[in-house]
Amino acid sequence: MVERETWATRVGFLVAAIGSAVGLGNLWQFPFKTAANGGAAFVAFYLIAVVLIGFPAMLAEFVVGRRTNVNAVDAFAELGHRRWRVVGGLAVATGFWILSYYNVVGGWVLRYILGSATGAYFDAPGEYFGAVSAGPEAVLAQALFLGIVVAIVALGIENGIEKATKVMVPSIVVIMVVLAGWAATLGGAGEGYAYFLSPSLDAMIDNARTAIPFAVGQAFFTLSLGMAIMITYSSYVGEDDSLPFDGGVIVVTNTLVGILAGLVVFPILFANDIDLALTGGGGASALFVAVAAGFAELPLGRWLGAVFFAVVLIAALSSAISLMEVTVSWAVDNFDVSRPMLAVTVGLGLFVLGLPSAWDTAWLTWFDNLAYSLFLPVSVLAVVIFVGWVIGRDAVDELRRGTGGLGSLGPLWLWTLRLVVVVGVVATLYFGITELFFQNDPTGVPPLIAGALSP
Ligand code: PHE
């Protein structure tokens, strides 16, 4: 057997994981959900969800990966619990499912870079979005996006993913900071900030039924949990890293990028008097219709739009890469076939599964709702129960490695996992399932609000 790959540097693991976490969720959901659900009050609640639920769950995935140094399915067998491989299998399958339509959205972003540069959507952003988001053109764009993802994953951990994300992640942060600085000079900046962040406990309470499950669900989605990504990425980590420290850096950077995104988009919307209803409270229309309409009004809008959508593309790519690596990693460990061949094969499978979503956004919405409300929370729950209740003490030992001890924080993490995270995920699952199956209208059209990426 060939020696298994590892990250060349510690920073390599960090940037790759940040690249995974920072994605469309941060750019087209977080700012808009925040604005709609009480601004800073929602952010405070979201941070609680991230700290109490997302962060401990992320450490649980890290522990499984670093302890075993194999793919997310076989990791469970490696830990001595062969039957629990089904949990790894579920996480890998969930990720594969999600990536199938994430690629479609990646294709739209590609189109929007071009559409900005040529001004193609400037006259009628809504119609343009309708035209590029479905049908043969969307299939072509999906294939292009997927091609880039396959190419990077085919090059491997060190030469592909690590090298690529080392350039991508800093670019995202730098360009977003520059854009936020520029947006601050726009006429509508003050109003935009107020709309985004002014705290309203009332709005938070009024919308609690949807805002709370969303905040918890987003805490998993935005940290790339439940899809075996963090298990896979940490399986390439050396022993001397402090997992809690790395997790902290990832969580903080991920949250800051979400806030930066708000500081960019709201001044653009307010400076150009864009109808806020166009944002749809988050999702594809927020960026592709509302923010796009803003660029159409701005001097230099073509350039600014192209740069903005380029950042969106980089964020989407670095997330898609992480998700493709999950399946490829499993395949590399299990089949005697070269990584590039396996990457291409996985890519073809994803392309086919993504076809319905590329053809009609109603399919994309359905795929997304099912993943977000059902597969994702079930998968997170299963991993958390495994780490918290099945391997328990061993997990704490693994977490301690490379940290200098952790003291009582070790057991505190374990009990948070066993109780707080489990209860939080079960509650989210309950809300998600009632929303998915019982609030549904009789036509069988899935409800629009549940998913993370729903247009
Ligand atoms: N964290 C990602 C986001 O916010 C979620 C994701 C990761 C989605 C990988 C797809 C692939 O968009």
**Ligand 1: centre distance to CA 439 (Å):** 26
Q: Which residue has the higher pLDDT, 319 or 372?
A: 319
Closest atom of ligand 1 relative to the 29 alpha carbon: 4
**Ligand 1 centre distance from Cα of residue 451 (Å):** 13
Q: For a pocket test of ligand 1, which of 99, 152, 224 has the largest count of ligand atoms closer than 8 A to its C-beta? A: 224
Ligand 1 center from residue 154 Cα (angstroms): 20
- Residue 97 Cα to ligand 1 midpoint, Å, equals 12
Q: What is the pLDDT of residue 447?
A: 37
Q: Which of 20, 101, 312 to mutate to test the pocket of ligand 1 (most atoms within 8 A of CB)?
A: 20
Are 171 and 314 within 8 A, CB to CB? yes
Burial (Cβ within 10 Å: 0-12, 13-18, ≥19) of residue 443: exposed
Given a contact cutoff of 8 angstroms between Cβ atoms, the answer to whether 382 and 442 are in contact is: no
> Can you tell me which atom of ligand 1 is nearest the CA of 24?
12
**Stretch 235-243: mean pLDDT, rounded?**
86
| Whole-number pLDDT of residue 121 | 95
The DSSP code sequence of 389-429 is: IIIHHHHHHHHHTTTT--TTHHHHHHHIIIIIIHHHHHHHH
What is the tens place of the pLDDT at every residue in 399-421?
999 888 888 999 999 999 999 99
322 alpha carbon – ligand 1 mean position (Å):
9
Per-residue pLDDT tens over the stretch 166-211: 999 999 999 999 999 999 999 989 999 999 999 988 888 888 877 8
For the beta carbon of residue 210, count every other beta carbon within 10 angstroms: 17
Atom 12 of ligand 1 has which residue's CA nearest to it? 23
Sorting pLDDT into bands at 50, 70 and 90, what band is 442?
very low
Task: Give the residue, by CA position, lying nearest to ligand 1 atom 9.
Answer: 319
Q: Which residues of 147-182 are buried (b: 16+ CB within 10 A; e: fewer)?
A: ebbbbbbbbbbeebbbbbbbebbeebbebbeebbee
| pLDDT digits 0-9 by tens, 14-55 | 999 999 999 999 999 999 999 999 999 999 999 999 999 999
Backbone phi and psi for residue 444, each to the nearest 5 degrees, phi listed first: 85, 5
Mean pLDDT along residues 374-389? 95
Q: What is the pLDDT of residue 2?
A: 58
Cα-to-centroid distance, 130 and ligand 1 (Å): 23
pLDDT for residue 454 is more than 80: no
pLDDT of residue 165: 97
Q: Which residues contact 142 (CB under 8 A, 6 or more apart)?
A: 103, 104, 106, 107, 351, 354, 358
With a Cβ cut-off of 6 Å, ligand 1 is lined by 20-21, 23-26, 98-99, 102, 221-222, 224, 319-320, 322-323
């590609």: which residue's tokens?
110
Give me the sign of the Cα torsion angle 129, 135, 141, 146: positive
Which protein residue has the closest C-alpha to ligand 1 atom 8?
A: 319
DSSP state of 276: G
pLDDT at 449 over 50: no
Distance (Å, rounded) from C-alpha 297 to C-alpha 160?
A: 39
Per-residue pLDDT tens for 79-104?
Answer: 999 999 999 999 999 999 999 999 99
- Identify the DSSP state of 439: S
Model pLDDT, residue 450: 42
Q: Mean pLDDT across the chain, nearest whole number? A: 92
Spatial distance between the Cα atoms of 221 and 212, rounded to a whole number of angstroms: 14
Atom of ligand 1 nearest to the CA of 224: 1
Q: What is the pLDDT of residues 316-347, one digit of tens each?
A: 999 999 999 999 999 999 999 999 999 999 99
